[in-house]
Amino acid sequence: MKGTYTLALFLLVTFNAIGQVATLKGNVKNEKGDTLTSVSIFIKGKKIGTVTTATGAYELVNLKPGSYTIHASLIGYEVGTQKITLEAGDNQTLDFILKETTYELQQVEITGRRESGYKNTNSFIGSKTATPLKDVPQAVSYVTKELMQDQAAARVGDVVKNFSGVNQFTSNNDIAIRGFRIFAGNGTMLVNGLRANASFWKQPPANYLERVEVIKGPVSALFGNASPGGTINRVTKKPLDQPKKSISFITGSYNTFRALADVTGPMNESKTLLYRLNIAYENSQSFRDLQFEKNIVIAPSISFLPNDKTRLNFDLVYNKSNSRVDRGQSAFFNDLYSTPVSLSLNAVNDYLNEEQYNITTSLTHNFTSNTSFNIAYLRTSYTEDLFEHRSNNTYMKNALGENVSFLVERQVFDRDSREFSDNLSTYFTHNMNTGVLAHKIVVGYDYAQSKLPVGAAQLTASGYLKKDGTTGSYRAADSAKFVMQRYTTKYNGADTVIYGPKPNVTTYDLTLNEHKKEDVTKYVYLPAVNDATLPKLNYLHGAYIQDQIKFGRLQALLGLRFEWFVDRAYYTTAREKKVTQTAVLPRLGLVYEINRNINAYALYTQGYNPQAATVQSPTSGGPFDPLESKMYEVGFKSEWFHKRLSLTTSVYQIEQVNALYAAPAPAPVDSMIQMGKEESKGFEFEVVGQVTDNWNVVLNYAYNDARLQEAGGTDKNFIGQQKPNAPRHMGNFWTKYTFKGNALKGLGIGIGGNFVTKRYLSLNQAQTVPGYELLNAALYYKIDKFQIQFNLNNVLDKTYWVGGYDYLRLFPGAPRNWLATVAYTF
């Protein structure tokens, strides 16, 4: 009986306590009536807050009776403020209508993106101003951190399939956009809109990224020399003014282990000082023999917002990596399926140690409501300590000088280098009216510098041993000068004897598929005096002006840039050669608002890119003229389902002259040829966002016809051929659905797939890799602040290749694999 009284007393106190609290809810819209997502709703002077959902709704529960001042805050809008008094048991509604701010936002984001989900509304990459993507007259693709998390993407290369018209060229930091290759070092990979050095061998980690963006086509008028296919921009996570913390642990196939942490919030009560810290640790093996990844990433960010007019941000990304270089799979001559996709040519004692940091400081100040000043500076450092056994891009020779199709000739690189770059971007923006025309004017100056100082060095071991103790390339006519040997192996199950020159570096026998620790002291090394190790310095100055003009439903973008580029190859040496190039680059775009949901656009732009110093040497056949390009593009951009879902279609034609390709045999291995004219034309379709607040969608398709149109010399035999690693057709879809019903609440499912058609590996089109179709799936279950996630990739266990150079350097994709994630948010 006593227990019954106690239970009754407990229930009475509980119900009485519930009756003493209140609930506040509402919706947030802009002046046009559009719902606003990810608006920060918080109570002044209290550590109580939330953000609006995809439908613009919010709810604050368990509030004590009293008077409160409620703030609604979103970047790009003036802060909404309302006062309210709550009584015990109240369930009140308080809606907000936010007014767009007239202040110009900064070039690089200083406070974090508040949107959640797959859709991103604003970007700085299209116009160097916070312009809605719908109003940018150029195709821009992006992947948000939410999509990366849902797909358990560890690196930038893992998300490439989500961009229309973008595919991997190899599995290194090396991709193709609209048929044009871009890679670290050719000025087409940015961090927060600024040029940054990066590893060519490894794709950048994704844990510290807010999103990855691709602006399609030449953007030299905005960012200086760049690839005609497009430019990749990695946007780092920035601080939020609301506390948020999360930790994640990931395990899976190939002994994968990752630990991630992300914490952010204000550092003082006035919220003028914000911080964010991302940390990652990885220790993983690979389906590729001898390949592994050990990574430590530390990425702090601090934002200082002393008032509404001034914003300052400091951003650091530090990455220390231990691994091996993956030069790809080698196969028997012209037999793609003759070796397993796991095969690599590494030795056990190979290594690649890398260290990199990016330090960004950015400031924006609004002098008035119409005039602002922006400045950003990025300093990067990349250090490489490399020792590797790799193919010499050919097979071993027998005594007659013939290729032995199952013995791969190898070479060794032993390299140390450190490269620095500096990037300064500064500009003024001014909003003004001339009669019925509204102008957003940008006037700016850029400076970028890349430096490989004295101290880089490389030893190389290759070729065949001569009787005089030196090494060289083998020719049957000179066989008397070389040390000859007999080599016994099993080929097709039988003993086979090969008689030929003795290699300086041990060959790799594809019939054995064995890896061992090589005795590297027996190799004959030569110092490599080449462009990879000689001091180099290049820098550019760029001045530009841009005007975004608005007249009713019509917007025009007019831009002009003057670029002055200087390349001091081999500086500080007797071979120093100074090359200066200049370019005047226009960019003209139109956007017309057909209706509230649909915009049509058209664009003409020009681009250029100096040839890299590594291919300017006489041994490559240089010097070579710079790349010059132009693009015509038209399309439609639209938003649906209360702006939750965006749709972009585009038709384009890109022309480029002076591109370089490896010269086909019998030309020397390192020589290049310069094309007369290339053309890429195609169609792209892309859908990103939410159909409902619990149903996310990504869908894209691209058709690309990329060919050589005019010959400049020995390339005349390749006219009309599709470019290497440029698929004609490619597409991708991914969708995630989260159940809302009580029985399945917290459960989510994800499913996706992508396809790529056949690709050629070289200009002569003798070797190809087949197209492929992949299926991926995921399950999610969220319990309060915990989420459990399971990803299964390549569900059907397809064998496929993402790219390559030839059958000695193939880059296979991973077989079926899984990842399990446990995450806690607090």
Buried b (16+ CB within 10 A) or exposed e, 710-747: eebeebeebeebbbbbbbbebbbbbbbbbeeeeeeeee
Q: Determine the number of helices (DSSP H) and then strands (DSSP E) in the chain.
A: 3, 53
Distance of CA 813 to the CA centre of its chain: 18
Q: Which two tokens stand for residue 425?
A: 């971007």
Sheet hosting strand 180-183, strand order edge to edge: 166-168, 174-177, 180-183
Q: What is the mean pLDDT of residues 190-203?
A: 89
Q: What is the pLDDT at residue 718?
A: 78
Structure tokens at 228: 């005609």
If pLDDT is split at 50, 70 and 90, which confidence band does 532 have? Answer: low
Structure tokens at 681: 């034309």
**The pLDDT of residue 660:** 73
Q: What is the DSSP string of 277-338?
A: EEEEEEEEE-SSTT-EEEEEEEEEEEEE-SSSSEEEEEEEEEEEEEE-----B--STT-TTS
Q: What is the percent of the chain with per-residue pLDDT over 70, rounded to a whole number?
A: 91
What distance in Å separates the CA atoms of residue 126 and residue 182, rounded to the nearest whole number?
19
Q: What's the CA gap between 310 and 294, in Å, rounded? A: 40
Residue 53 in tokens: 């959902």
Compute the average pLDDT of residues 150-164.
Answer: 94
| Residue 798 one-letter amino acid | K
- Could you list the beta-strand ranges (E) of 398-456: 403-434, 437-452
Nearest to 235 by CA among 110, 404, 137: 110
Per-residue three-class SS string for 592-633: EECCCCEEEEEEEEEEEECCCHHHCCHHHCCCCCCEEEEEEE
Q: Which residues contact 787 (CB under 8 A, 6 or more apart)?
A: 780, 781, 821, 822, 823, 824, 825
Q: Which residue has the higher pLDDT, 640 or 222?
A: 640
Out of 62-76, 213-227, 412-426, 519-533, give the one with best mean pLDDT.
412-426
Q: Taking residues 96-117, what's their average pLDDT?
A: 64
Q: For 575-632, what is each residue's pLDDT tens digit?
A: 787 878 888 999 999 999 999 999 999 999 999 887 765 566 656 666 677 889 999 9
Kindly give, in sequence order, each residue whose CB lies less than 8 Å from that of residue 392, ignoring residues fewer than 6 positions away.
Answer: 408, 409, 410, 411, 462, 505, 669
pLDDT tens for residues 556-573? 999 999 999 888 877 887
Euclidean distance between CA atoms 653 and 709, whole angstroms: 13
Residue 297 pLDDT level (bands cut at 50, 70, 90): very high
Q: Is residue 16 classed exposed, middle or buried when 0-12, 13-18 and 19+ CB atoms within 10 A define those classes? A: exposed
Which domains does the chain carry? Answer: 2-98 (2.60.40.10), 122-234 (2.170.130.10), 235-459+528-825 (2.40.170.20)
pTM summary value: 0.85
Cross-strand bridge partners of residue 704: 682
- Residue 372 has what pLDDT? 92
Tell whether the torsion through CA atoms of 190, 120, 240 and 745 is positive or negative.
Answer: negative
Considering only CA atoms, which of 704, 638, 551, 654 is closest in space to residue 217?
A: 654
> What's the pLDDT score for residue 666?
64
What's residue 812's pLDDT? Answer: 97
* DSSP conformation letters of 745-776: TTEEEEEEEEEE--EESSTT---EE--EEEEE
For residue 441, which of 377, 376, 370, 375 has the smallest C-alpha distance?
370
Residues 6+ apart with CB under 8 A from 60: 23, 24, 25, 41, 43, 48, 49, 50
**b vs e for 581-604, b when ≥16 Cβ sit within 10 Å of the residue's Cβ?**
bebebebbbbbebeeeeebebebe
Mean pLDDT check: name the lowest of 141-155, 184-198, 729-743, 789-803: 184-198
Which DSSP string corresponds to 547-567? EEEEETTEEEEEEEEEEEEEE
Is 686:164 a contact under the CB 8 Å cutoff?
yes
pLDDT over threshold 70, residue 9:
no
Peptide bond into 812 cis (omega under 30): no
**How many angstroms from the chain centroid is the CA of residue 463?**
37
**How many angstroms separate the CA atoms of 51 and 395, rounded?**
61
Higher pLDDT, residue 31 or 451: 451
- The percentage of residues in the chain with a pLDDT greater than 90, rounded to a whole number, is 64
pLDDT of residue 102: 44
Q: Residue 126 — very low, low, confident or very high, per pLDDT cuts 50/70/90?
A: confident
CB of 726 within 8 A of CB of 702? no
Question: In which band, very low, low, confident or very high, does the pLDDT at 251 lie, cut at 50, 70 and 90?
Answer: very high
193/423 Cα distance (integer angstroms): 10
| Residue 106 clears pLDDT 60, i.e. is over it | no
Q: Report, as an integer, the average pLDDT of 364-379.
A: 92
Q: What angle do CA 171, 819, 255 make, to 5 degrees?
A: 75
Query: Which residue is associated with the tokens 């991302």?
Result: 278
